[in-house]
Amino acid sequence: GCTGVLAVLGLEAAAPGECELTRLLQDKLQYEMRLQYMKHYFPIDYTVQVQYEEVLRPSNITRLRNGTVSEAALRYLWFHVSSQAVLRIRGVLPEKHPSWKYTQELCQLFDALGEEYSKYRQ
């Protein structure tokens, strides 16, 4: 198996392409980068509205894992919630914002991961 962002969920990626993309995402989503691009560069008045259902909490993952949800479905859930979060953030950023390039790179990685998933998901 491979390690990566999905390790947060206690999951291993199945396909080699998925594994490589999650490794690249893990590199981009390291705490220091998130702190720099998603906190320090954001003015106090920037807000992103999210619904309660759009927040992926560890307790929810544990509940799903203890239920009948497959690991592949959990990987896809992580992908969907995370990619939508990045799109929401991009929606409030002007192109000249210091975090624009960082979020663009995240979007490209999530797009590639989405293409990988479309190869073997309905």
pLDDT tens readout for residues 3-51: 444 444 444 445 668 888 988 998 898 888 888 888 777 766 767 777 7
pLDDT tens column, 59-97 = 778 888 888 888 888 888 888 888 988 898 888 888 888
Classify domain 16-120 at the CATH class level. mainly alpha
Q: How far apart are CA 39 and CA 19, in angstroms?
A: 28
Predicted pLDDT of residue 108: 94
- C-alpha pair distances (Å), 1 with each of 16, 19, 20, 80, 98: 9, 8, 11, 21, 35
Q: How far apart are CA 122 and CA 107, in angstroms?
A: 22
